[in-house]
A and B are shown apart, each in its own frame.
Chain A
Amino acid sequence: MSLLEGVPRRGLWLLALLLALLAAFPVFASGYLLAVGFLILYFAFVGQAWNVMMGFAGQLSLGHSLYVGLGAYAAAALYVHFGISPWIGLGASIAVCALAGAAIGFLAFRFGVSGVYFAILTIAFAEFARIGFDHFAWVRGSSGLFLPVANYTENDLWNLRGSPVMFYYLMLALTAGAFVLCHALLRSRMGYYWLAIRESPEAAQALGVNVFRCKMVAVVISAAMTSLAGVMFAFYYNNLFPEQIFHVSRSIELILGPIIGGIGTLFGPIVGAFLLTGLAEGLRELMLQLGIDVPGVKQVFYGLCLLAVVVFLPDGVWPPIARRLRLVRKS
């Protein structure tokens, strides 16, 4: 099949091994470790979604918390108010986020807003939503939207009520799906257009690529993917606060993984999520053991990681590893 064409054999074996390990993880792990596993997969997934925009099409978004939040609120509000299953609700989430992405993209790309200006525009929209949702009474404003919680004896997949193991496997499926989708996207005609635009919008335009349309497609796909992460977030954590979910620090948190892993690579977001979440939780555990309880240490650690990667490994952690594993041809 064309999807596997040109993928080195050892790469496939390693991928299968990774998938098997992740699938077997809940057998060994429980409670806290499983929650960490979920978090890693969650960040791998949103990182992958963000990567479509930044890594492929070269559009820096610093407001992806907007799509997480909108997706989360759409599905959760439909469930809380009308008892609509999240599987139907996620249709609404995708629609809302795709629309929001399209609107922002349309406004920005039409008027040639790009680079840092575009990044700040995305923050502005996320902040706008944060404050707006604080005063949005239908979803309880700043006092937060809570999903009904009970002790579930069995998993209700249809209403996404159940054990962490169920959420873990759902997130794993989503992450795997996103990986395959991004792999396919990169090999599509659109994928090549994106890379051309990322490297030089002017040159791409001169070659007859419809730059505006391609950027729009990237924003819409990225936003729609991110909305799914929002749905998972809402039903996993069961509470939503505008102050938390739309906050800029959330947007920054979710882009750290792909940046540390390697922007524009398929494995970057996954490796980055593993490294960052793994190290951060390890640090937390260490602090707990040492009896130090100071807020902010995790973020300082994030900051220093980001600093080290940007300064010493501008392409991210993954590309050198990939070369070492001989997964890419030397260029």
Chain B
Amino acid sequence: MPVEIYLNVAASGLLTGLVYGLMALGLSVIFGVVRVVNFAHGEMMTLAMYLTLVLFSALKLDPLILMVPVAAVLFVLGYLLQRGLINPFINRPEHSQFMLLVAVALVLVNVQLIVFGPDAQGIRTSYSFDSFQLGALIVDASKVYAAGAALVVAGALFAFFRWTLLGKSIRACADNYHGALVVGLDVKRLYALTFGIGSACVGAAGAMLMAVTDVTPTIGPSYTLLAFVIVITGGLGSMPGALLGGLLIGLTEALGGVLFTPSAKSMFAFGLLVLVLLFRPQGILGRKAA
């Protein structure tokens, strides 16, 4: 096969990887602050994708514009989930929290199955079949737009955590729970906000991904796993790590798909995860766990 094919596939993998990265960023933010592993992450992702689908057929707006309302809905959902269900579990053992979210995931994925049916559904935008050509490189326009939007959202999130008071206080909770309590931060509310922000990331990523690919309810668990693979590879709790992990996994899956068979592509992502867990359990950009 000519080299151009590999380059094209790699570019497309990297672009999709950025959207994956944004999804994983949500997981990483939630874990980094609330210290709860959101096992329902991929199910929230498919929920966001279906929301986009419904809104698209009702309003005929671009998925990248629909990203805003979808992210807002997911924010509210995440906020309520943390407030109502997860908060009492903050001090419970790890496996107990995990089970709680496994239960939420089970309900979410199957309610979607009941409501939307098992068939794959997608949307077609005016630019679905457009592409950009850069020398020998040909890339899908929708992937470029989606990746660009992912970068913008991720950038906004970095800025939020770096420069706003709210972002700083959330980081304070993550750094020192008791310290945050002592200086008078409303940790419960900040946790719920964080869960909401993490969910909003998923919402935005879901809307973007809808422009690129189809959705079925049963793909949810695969997205959950993908998000885990990405954040563990990049470093759980590290924001740049999540984006880097997304790029790496996107690239690995895309190249694995052409070098072997497409159906075996996620095997390579899992292979990478195993390697990372064994040799650098804290992830590529993660800090050594205390």
- Measured CB to CB, the residues of A under 8 A from B are 54, 60, 107-108, 111-113, 115-117, 119-121, 123-125, 127-128, 131-132, 134-135, 142, 248-249, 252, 259, 263, 294-297, 299-300, 302-304, 306-307, 310-311, 314
Contacts and interface: CB of A to CB of B under 8 A. Distances in A.
A54 B217 CA distance: 30
Interface in B80-138: 85, 88, 92, 94-96, 98-100, 102-107, 109-111, 113-114, 118
B263 interface: yes
A236 to B, nearest CB: 25
Given A120-B232, A248-B225, A296-B217, 5 more contacts: A119-B95, A127-B270, A296-B113, A303-B110, A307-B100
A299 B112 CA distance: 11
Nearest to B117: A295
Contacts of A131: 263-264, 266-267, 270
B95 A60 contact: yes
Given A117-B277, A307-B100, A127 B225 contact: yes
4 pairs of A and B residues whose beta carbons are closest in the complex: A303-B106, A296-B113, A296-B110, A303-B107
A307 B114 contact: no
Contacts of B85: 311
Contacts of B102: 252, 306
Contact of A307 (B104, B109, B232, B270): B104
Size class of the B contact interface (CB-based, 8 Å): 35 or more
B99 A306 contact: yes
B228 A113 contact: no
A260 to B, nearest CB: 10
A53 to B, nearest CB: 11
A313 B28 CA distance: 29
B273 interface: yes
Contacts of B164: none
B96 A113 contact: no
Given A107-B278, A310-B100, A252 B266 contact: no
Contacts of B263: 131, 134-135, 142
B229 A124 contact: yes
Contacts of A60: 94-95, 98
B157 interface: no
A297 B96 contact: no
Contact of A310 (B96, B113, B228): B96
Contacts of B76: none
